[in-house]
Amino acid sequence: MNVRSFQLSDYRPVTTLLEDVLSEECYEQTMEAFARQLSWDSELVLVAVEESEVVGMIIGTIDNNKGYYYRIAVHTEYQRQGIGKALIQALRQRFEQRNVSKILITADEHNEPVLPLYEAMGYASNDFFRSFQKLSIVAG
């Protein structure tokens, strides 16, 4: 498995993956944020590729010098194989290279099911960002 930056040729497989694993409401919100993040800084959108197939992706953003894990998705057939952890670790490296002041996990209602994954990787509840004030990639 290889984790790399999003490329334009990944657009269709990534949107299909998101449509398959996210609820309809979550998909619509994520697609808006995905488009904004691609236009602002595509280096913070990563994909996991297994034998030339996109099997996972993560969207990160930097807002007020803080790095945020916004959305992660792994194809159902590839879950529990370390792909999510690899995506999180790769994005963390990018945040650290950019010297962000803190790294947070967006803890909206759609991310609740994956919060245990972040906890298993050493993140604590004070690393979860729960706020009515939206991130720039969400609010526009």
Domain ranges of the chain: 2-129
Does residue 14 surpass a pLDDT of 60? yes
Which structure tokens are listed for 90? 């790769």
Instruction: Tell me how far apart the alpha carbons of residues 21 and 126 are, in angstroms, rounded to a whole number.
Output: 27
At residue 42, the pLDDT reads 95
Task: Give the CA distances from residue 60 to residues 31, 34, 52, in Å, rounded to whole numbers and listed in that order.
Answer: 13, 9, 22
> Which ranges of the chain would DSSP assign to H, the alpha helix?
11-21, 24-41, 83-97, 115-120, 136-139
Q: How far lies 70's CA from each of 3, 51, 99, in Å?
A: 17, 26, 18
Instruction: Encode pLDDT of 79-121 as tens digits.
Output: 999 999 999 999 999 999 999 999 999 988 888 889 999 999 9
Which CATH superfamily, name and number, covers 2-129? Answer: Gcn5-related N-acetyltransferase (GNAT) (3.40.630.30)
CB 85 within 8 A of CB 114: no
Q: Convert the pLDDT of each residue in 30-84 to its tens digit.
A: 999 999 999 999 999 999 999 999 999 999 999 999 999 999 999 999 999 999 9
Q: Which amino acid is at 116?
A: P
